[in-house]
Amino acid sequence: MRTLSILKTVSAVAAVSAVAITATTGKASAISIDLFSSPTQVASSFTYNNVTPGNNLTATGSVNILGVTQARNVFRSSDGLGVTINNSPLESNKVDGFLLPETLTLAFTQAVNLTSVSFTGVGLLDSFTFLNGGTSVFTQNIPGQLLGNGTYTYNFNFNSPQTGTSFGFRASQLTSAFYVSSVNVAAVPEPITMAGMVLGSGFGVLLRRKYKKAAKFSNKLST
């Protein structure tokens, strides 16, 4: 009977410990990161510091020419972020597909869960290709207005959070043109820490010792 009681105690403590450790890895709440700014700026990249604790975001632009990725400047305005070629009369300053499909990449220093993205300046025939870690995941139409003059914003919610450190938004066709104005992200819950593992293993060693002593005492009584 004594041995059975010890086993029940071990099971109960193990269950409580598991619940306590699991609670430390719960879901983090999503936060909105506004990417727009005024006055208008053009640079090779823009960095947003501490978007989540200790996590920075850097926005860069690029185009793909015959399988080779070439950097492009990032255009930042009150509408959001676009990709631009300086001094080009054909440039819209948005992420556009004219001549070459442009890509805006948002790179984080730590992994996040991307839950939604907002587009501004969306026209009727716009669509984007989403990339995670440089790999194309899907292409999606963006409902918009006829002129897409920067006043219309469309919020796209992912069916399930996209986990990673680098997310790309590419103009998927010739007529596509848009700004990326904000993203919603949540910090990725950390796995069980080493401290938690040590604590758990220490508990286990202590309980095993108590169990062995109780078992020896029970054997002596039975003999």
What pLDDT sits at residue 92?
A: 84
Instruction: Name the architecture of domain 31-187.
Output: Sandwich (2.60)
Token pair 């948005």: residue: 94
Bridge partners of 102?
Answer: 63
Domain map of the chain by residue range? 2-24+192-222, 31-187
Q: What pLDDT sits at residue 24?
A: 42
Instruction: Identify the weakest region by mean pLDDT among 22-36, 53-67, 133-147.
Output: 22-36
Better-predicted residue by pLDDT, 192 or 185: 185
pLDDT number for residue 146 = 64
Distance (Å, whole) CA 45 – CA 26: 33
Is 50's pLDDT higher than 60? yes
The arithmetic mean of pLDDT across residues 14-28, rounded, is: 46
Most confident of 55-59, 97-101, 188-192: 55-59
Q: Cβ(74)–Cβ(44) under 8 Å?
A: yes
Question: Of all residues in the chain, what percent carry a pLDDT higher than 90?
Answer: 54
Instruction: Write the single-letter amino acid at 102.
Output: E
Distance, in Å, from the CA atom of 80 to the CA atom of 194, rounded to the nearest integer, reads 41
Least confidently predicted of 24-38, 113-127, 151-165, 190-204: 190-204
* pLDDT bucket at 155, cuts 50 / 70 / 90: very high
Average pLDDT over residues 210-214: 57
Predicted TM-score (pTM) of this structure: 0.75
Is it the case that residue 93 has pLDDT exceeding 60? yes
Q: Is the pLDDT of residue 18 over 50?
A: no
